[in-house]
Structure 1
Amino acid sequence: MDYKIINKEAFAIVGKSIRTSTVEGQNHRNIAQFWIDSNQNGFADELAQVSGDLGLIGVCMDFDNEQEQLTYAIGAEKTTNNVPSGWDEVKIPASTWAVFPVHGAMPDAMPSVWQRIFSEWFPATGYEHSGGPEMEVYLSDSDPYSADYYSEIWIPIKK
């Protein structure tokens, strides 16, 4: 499985978030709908205007295994102190990240790479999840529904 290891200092993202269940893949359906809604209502366009080098970012965080829930944020690197009303600010800690390329149309391409990371990559490499937020990074402003769309999954790791 293709990947690279990078270190990144702490940073903040701004955006909006939802709380979703992980039971029976509900999170995949809710997150896909959150992106559809954000694209249709203009929120993603607003974010794109203030995004940093990472473009638009989806962040999985605040995992609660007991309640089988997580929070998912759609955001962009914070590049200004003027955060619009109703937007959240999320701190992403400094981390060592395993970065995995994702090729293909959204939303289908992303879940298959997530599954392979946890079923194949972690067991084969000796790395462990370090417990921080996980990120989906959408670097390109091209059509996310095209077969050649490129994005990345970032997972905080430790040896």
Structure 2
Amino acid sequence: MLERLNQALDHLETCLEQEVDVAEVARIAAVSEYHFRRLFSALAGMPLPVYVRRRRMTLAGADVLAGTPTLLDVATRYGYGSGEAFARAFRSVHGIGPGEARRTGAVLTAQPRMSFRVVVEGSTAMRYRIVERESFRFLGRKARVPLAHEGVNAAAAAHVEGLDERAIVRMKELSSGPEPEGILSAAVYLTDSREEGAEADYWVGVATGPETAAGELDVLDVPAGTWAVFDNHGPYPAALQELWRDVFTQWFPSNPYTSRPGPELLRTRPVEVGAETDSQLWIPVERGPSRGVGQRLA
């Protein structure tokens, strides 16, 4: 698997002067495009398109400073149809426009190539089980919130505190179904980005039968599929945030599963910040190729 991941990044590097076929990159890595995007974002700390743009502008910066080709030639080389579009991309990475960089010899920003390497990790056991779940309907209330990797997510907490009493009563009435049972939270990611501040739909609700009447609640229909279920105990919310990180940086690279589209579900008992609590995280997965232990993005 390590070799395949490095081959995928090597192939990506050869495509920087043309449109990148992410499906082909994922094929070389032997995973789905969806999983490759999600895994890359979680491990690299940035979405794949951002990495591609930064790498392109790193190479373009060297061409700009060389002074030989015209700026339009440089823009065309890296797939930009106009000097204006190229200048915007250049400025987003380097903080100045290409014309100014060429005139002043300004210091530019370089994005190094990423590569995969073996890291000895996994000293802490992760308790999980695989569950096949029939389709269900998630009924509750949703709000769009920014991701927060550390500490309490203020926007998510405000959404919980703002739930009306009628909605809470209705959710409690429906909360005794098959697992995952009880009142849950669910995250539906709008893009493959897992960067701090990226937006997601945050739900509070219950998993019910696929034909349960919604009434005044919002509806999220979830198809049948496989779920990896992780049990967790620790201080809230730090232990959960560390669990989510470990699932993507350690569990996925060392197990024969890949992520698939679907909400990530969380059941936890409300407690004060820092207090110990038991939680359960449900991640939608599908069986994939086996992979070596301890591989992650350096």
**TM, length-normalised to structure 2:** 0.44
Bigger relative contact order, structure 1 or 2 (CA pairs below 8 A, ≥6 apart): 1
1:33-52 paired onto structure 2 within 5 Å:
33-38=158-163, 41-42=164-165, 43-51=167-175, 52=177
Give the C-alpha shift of residue 96 in structure 1.
0.5
- Say which of 110, 115, 118 aligns to 2:240: 110
**TM, length-normalised to structure 1:** 0.78
* 1:68-88 deviation line (CA, Å, top 9, x unaligned): 321111111235844332x20
- Say which of 84, 88, 99 aligns to 2:215: 84
2:277 is matched with which residue? Answer: 149
The percentage of counterpart residues that share the same residue type is: 26
Distance 1:31 1:70 in 2: 10
The alignment partner of 2:283 has SS state of strand
Distance 2:143 2:136 in 1: 21
1:57 aligns with 2:187: no
* 1:89-139 deviation line (CA, Å, top 9, x unaligned): 11011110000012245444322211221122112213210122111134x
1:100 aligns with 2:230: yes
Check the 8 A contact 2:236/2:276 in 1, yes or no: no
- Say which of 115, 125, 138 aligns to 2:255: 125
Q: 1:136 to 1:10 in 2, by over 3 A?
A: same
Higher strand share: 1
The alignment partner of 2:153 has SS state of helix
Amino acid in structure 2 at the alignment position of 1:31: A
Q: 1:24 to 1:5 in 2, by over 3 A?
A: closer
Distance 2:250 2:141 in 1: 32
> Gaps (5+ residues) in structure 1?
none
Distance 1:23 1:150 in 2: 20
Distance 1:32 1:108 in 2: 15
Report which of the two structures shows the higher radius of gyration computed on alpha carbons.
2
Distance 2:200 2:152 in 1: 8
The alignment partner of 1:64 has SS state of coil
1:137 aligns with 2:274: no
The alignment partner of 1:31 has SS state of helix
The alignment partner of 2:253 has SS state of helix
Check the 8 A contact 1:11/1:91 in 2, yes or no: yes
The alignment partner of 2:184 has SS state of strand
Higher helix share: 2
1:11 is matched with which residue? Answer: 136
The alignment partner of 2:245 has SS state of helix
Check the 8 A contact 2:144/2:202 in 1, yes or no: yes
Q: 1:115 to 1:35 in 2, by over 3 A?
A: farther
Give the C-alpha shift of residue 62 in structure 1.
4.3
> Gaps (5+ residues) in structure 2?
1-125, 289-298
